[in-house]
Structure 1
Amino acid sequence: MMAEVKSSRVKVPSLLTVVSSKPTAPGRVHKFTALDHAMGFHTGHIVFYYRRNPIGDGASMENDLDNLRISLSELLCLYPPVTGRLGRGADGNWEVKCNDAGVRMLKANVCATLDEWLRYANAAEERDLTVWEDLPDDPHIWSPFRIQINDFNCGGLAVAISFTHMHADFTSATLLIKSWAEIHRHEPVAHPPIFNLPSVINESAAYRRSSSVFSETNSEFEIPSVRMGRATFKFSEAKIRQCLSEVHESCPDASPFDVLAALFWSKITRLKSPACDDDNKCSLSMCIDLRKRERDSIPYGYFGNALHFSKLSVNAEELQSDRLAYIAGLVHQHVGSIRDEEFWANVAWLESHKKEGGQYPPPFQLFGCQLTCLSMENTISSEGSFTYAAMFKQNEKPIHVSYQIGNVGGEGLILVMPSPEEGLARIVMVTLPEEQIVKLCEDQTILGLQPSMLLNGKQ
């Protein structure tokens, strides 16, 4: 037991370790890919908000947590890299010793109702619902995955997970929680984890010849000193349909992501000085998940990083000209032109820059070094978004899911994701320097779409 006060409204009275119900075979080691190592500067944090307790009958929270730990132990049998500990291999690269050391689980009490929290809490307070720790110098007893169960006054609950981005991306971590919920409901796991990418890097010389967007990224970085803020905008299906109708003539196949990425990119560019490079070009670092594209070379169940970074550049005057349809068309064309080969080219570039002895280069600041736009459109299938399918109890879906990336600085991050509403509704989470966030929240074009503002309390 422990007594820790994380903030005036979030208190953590207990901490325990949950291990898998079946031991992993001795000596198992999980190797990280070149892309995993490149992501090592960042952490991932997800919070699933539930209107009611989704893990039991409400008779006793302690009994509910006991049952939750049992299902988590069963889940961890499928995920040896999650329960292991980090260490350096003979080549100097990070790897996971799958030794069943377990996952840290924290129980927290929140001195607010769920509605009060979503309406009035700010981004800094929301951090207290998860664990924020960077990789320590000696991580041999450090848990890379932390789960925090947050109990609100009203009976609402938030299930949060924190992890190193070297281990997993948002799709991987979301599917981990979804699989946990399926086991808790005594149902088959829809997407069992797959831990190895197919070995296709050397199958085509084109992969090796292609240049990589990583070659333009400066690996020598410092954590930015500027204070960052975050705002969350929830757009209804009706307003997204309105946006799509306005751009339909120029870009009939535009998606909600296309118009929202274009809208926020153009508005944020106006807030920056200077907003362009020496060639009068403004650039957006586009980040998309390549699972389930083209030849299904990266399946949904892959546990690791399957993110592809590319750059879209536009003339500054065009970007700031309020030609939303034109910019949305450029975003749509850019995303549609991305092929799996480009992902493998990035991986091959990282592989080719190993040091003598086989050690990978240092990690990059991939989120925020340039303004970055992350798409979560891959979480939407014909059955709906699996982001909101993490039901520990039947029909108890999350009412909101919050995604945060650690160590985002510099230009900032735009994240576009599905909303709990069915259809075209979307949520946009923006991380920018605080002064820019304040101005963005006052933008009349964005406010004209009547977004609901979540977790946007005064900083």
Structure 2
Amino acid sequence: MPASAAAVLRALATGPGSRVTRFAKSTAASVTPVRPGRTHALSPLDNAMERHTVHVVLYYLAAPGLDRDQLKESLSEVLSLYPAMTGRLTRGEGGGGGEGGPTAVEGETPARRGWVVKCNDAGVRMVDARAAPTLDEWLATATGDEEMDLLYYEPVGPETYIWSPFYIQLTEFADKSYALGLSCTHIHNDPTAAALFFQAWAAAHRRTTSTYPPFLHAPAFEVSPASPPPPPPILADKSSAAASPAIADAPAMSSATFHFPASAVRALLASLEPGTTPFAALAALFWLRITAGDEDGERELTVALDFRKRMHAPLPWGYYGSAVHLTRVRADLASGLPAVAAALDRHVTGVPEDDLWSAVEWLHARQQLQLEEGGAGEPFQMYGPELTCVALDHVPMYGAEFEAGAPPARVSCRVGGAAGEGLVIVLPAAEGGEARDVVVMLPAEKTASVCRDGVVLRHGGQVVFGAKAGKVA
């Protein structure tokens, strides 16, 4: 075997005992060339997500029109609608790291400029893989950490002009079912945009138009505040700790997924104040159980909200980029589940749009300061290190039908770089209605504890992907 081929196989290898074998790596290109010189600007909110990645897996039962070659063909077609996906990151004017960009003088620290995308048709990386079990066997036996074998991602290196921000893994199960795994840098896409990319891909596969076409040129987050605004408290706290090696020194993280059938969620809601949302109920439940045994009293939870439809001039679902707003909820955990869920609901419902703009304006001013002073403002951790809960249960994730009438059997989502106390993500479930899935990424011992937690299980939580020690990408 040639040395280069052996190196590729080593890079693709999964851990010992894995039931997934990655056997090839290639590049998927768009069928339509991009106009030379085209770039895609990334907002200050996009740039703020530099420490994080997004990982989405969609599972599909075997179907006549679902095979590897057809999926690759339709992927190339849909990439024509996403020129930024097939491009490469480079620093803005005056920065280093991009092809042809200025280089730093030896001994000097290069200025940190905002990222932009050079739309050069370089393509996205594709990985082919096979899984030994059938899909049903996998869903019945896989751990949360084993599910990461259905995803492939390479961290950014010094040569960003050859590094692909997007990686797609096609995994075929023994029964010809498929898992489609997308990994990307959060600089490009938030979890909503990443999940809804599959809708456009599925529409291209069916030779039809997507319900949520990509919207790549929104002016929504282009702001120029007259004077630097004060930092929102949550971002001030995060940026002040930017230099801390939180991710490198954090304990090993592990992942698990819980499924709550509609009947279980309805029973949970019946025990709470009228009008409580499924998100608030489940976020409160996991907040209480993850912190069980800690000191009671007033505590704070960071909540990540998708703001696309919460703005006075709402963005399309297909908005390409980050529309995530972080906010803090305060509650007395000793007051019990109904009171904590009610506090969550009141806060999430009442977050004003002005709070979002304050954060965006401050991030913009911070980025401008980097341009003027150079080297200021290292990227900081947006998800964590405090416990963070992400609301995604409103996102139409199950509309990606590669075969008409055959939605995904399951959708999973994770955010990388959420080291510290961990992350809880509330997702829609396949059966719709009040049913929900909850993905947790916590320190390994805490994940194992939550999977055995009697209160979570008593409220109908079914462990789909259990806990096993391991590092989340």
Kept after mapping to 1: 8 A contact 2:254/2:467: no
1:258 matched to 2:280: yes
Q: Distance in 2 between matches of 1:290 and 1:100?
A: 30
Residue in 1 that maps onto 2:105: none
Task: Compute the RMSD of aligned alpha carbons.
Answer: 2.2
* Distance in 1 separating the partners of 2:393 and 2:57: 18
| Equivalent runs, 1:22-41 vs 2, <5 Å | 22-41=32-51
Partners of 2:230 and 2:383 lie apart in 1 by 25
Question: Is 2:434 the partner of 1:421?
Answer: no
Q: Deviations over 1:358-398 (max 9, x none)?
A: 5683222122211000000331xxxxxx2111111112211
Over 3 Å counting, the alpha-carbon distance change for 1:98 and 1:260 in structure 2 is same
User: Aligned match of 1:94 in 115, 120, 132?
Assistant: 115
Corresponding position: 1:290 with 2:315: no
Q: Which residue of 1 aligns with 2:29?
A: 19
- Once the two structures are overlaid, the 10-residue window that deviates more, 124-133 or 289-298, is 289-298
Residue 332 of structure 1 is matched in structure 2 by: 345
Partner of 1:125: 146
- Separation (CA, whole Å) in 2 of partners of 1:207 and 1:454: 47
Distance change >3 Å, CA 349–CA 54, structure 1 → 2: farther
Q: Which residue of 2 aligns with 1:242?
A: 267
Matched, 1:111 2:128: no
Q: 1:85 to 1:312 in 2, by over 3 A?
A: same
> Between Structure 1 and Structure 2, how many residues are aligned?
434
User: Does the Cα contact within 8 Å between 1:54 and 1:157 map onto a contact in 2?
Assistant: no
Q: CA deviation at 1:284?
A: 0.4
Summarize the Cα distance change of 1:387–1:311 in structure 2 as closer, same or farther, 3 Å threshold.
same
1:302 correspondence with 2:327: no
Aligned with 1:35: secondary structure?
Answer: helix
Deviation of 1:402 after TM superposition, in Å, equals 1.0
What secondary structure does 2:394 align onto? helix
| Pairing 1:204-219 to 2, within 5 Å after superposition | 208=229, 211-217=232-238, 218-219=241-242
AA paired with 2:72? R
Name the SS of the counterpart of 1:230 in structure 2. Answer: strand
TM-score (norm 2): 0.87
Q: Which residue of 2 aligns with 1:383?
A: none
Q: Is the 8 A contact 1:270 1:320 kept in 2?
A: no
Q: Separation in 1 of the partners of 2:402 and 2:441?
A: 30
Give the TM-score normalised by the residue count of structure 1: 0.89
The match for 2:70 is 67
Cα separation, partners in 2 of 1:252 and 1:330, compared to 1, 3 Å: same
In structure 2, C-alpha distance between the alignment counterparts of 1:195 and 1:373, rounded to whole Å: 27
Q: Is the 8 A contact 2:444 2:467 kept in 1?
A: no
Residue 387 (1) aligns with residue 397 (2): yes
| Alignment partner of 1:348 is 2:371 | no
Gaps of 5+ in 2: 95-112
Partner Cα separation in structure 2 for residue 357 and residue 203 of structure 1: 14
Residue of structure 1 equivalent to 2:253: 228
Instruction: Report if aligned partners of 1:47, 1:401 keep a CA contact under 8 Å in 2.
Output: yes
Pairwise mapping of residues 148-167 of structure 1 onto structure 2 (< 5 A)? 148-167=169-188
From 305, 319, 342, the counterpart of 2:333: 319
- How far 1:295 sits from its partner (Å)? 2.0
Q: Is 1:367 the counterpart of 2:392 in the alignment? A: no
1:271 & 1:351 partners in 2: Cα distance? 40
